[in-house]
Amino acid sequence: MFYKTDYNAPIGRMMIVSDDMRIAGVWLEGQKYFGGVIGEDLLRQDDLPVLQEAKSWLDRYFAGNKPQISELPLAPRGNAFRQAVWRILCAIPYGEVVTYGDIAKEIAQQRGIKTMSAQAIGGAVGHNPISVIIPCHRVVGANGNLTGYAGGLDVKIKLLMHEGVDMEKFSRPIGRMAL
């Protein structure tokens, strides 16, 4: 059984999902892959302690604090490859970014292989079921290209700015409005 509650964030309405003990998902309303990994009916349970912990974490984050990911019991659903990518995301410090290529190199090294596709990394990052808390917004394309955020590029920019990232060095993908 999975439980849900809503959270009104400065970036929009979010849904937080738990299996009663651990956070399984945090999605922005309308986000690509919204609720996709759960596959079960969700029961509203606004007073469930783990959901309240997640709301408190998000409150502190949006207030400008830097709560640690380890403060929350997380249980994102995904295969071993995605889990490995999400662990790397959790290690990206506040206010910093890495590229899909950086993560690809790290995964290749972990697996003892020569190379890993940055596109494969992009797929795993894009399917991160715990938005904001597992900071997939801290991943950018090569040469400072702001690309790939399931919650939308404008939300990614807001989150990076909220964390104090200098946005002068980034650009939107071709065909998008300039920063």
- Long-range contacts from 117-122, C-beta under 8 angstroms, 24+ separation: 118/142, 120/81, 121/85, 122/148
φ, ψ dihedrals at 57, nearest 5°: -60, -50
68 in Cβ contact with 90 (< 8 Å): no
- Bridge-based pairing state of the strands 98-99 and 23-28: unpaired
136 as an active site residue: the answer is: yes
Q: CB atoms < 10 A from the CB of 76, how many?
A: 20
The catalytic residue among 15, 97, 124, 136 is: 136
> Which residues are the active-site residues?
136
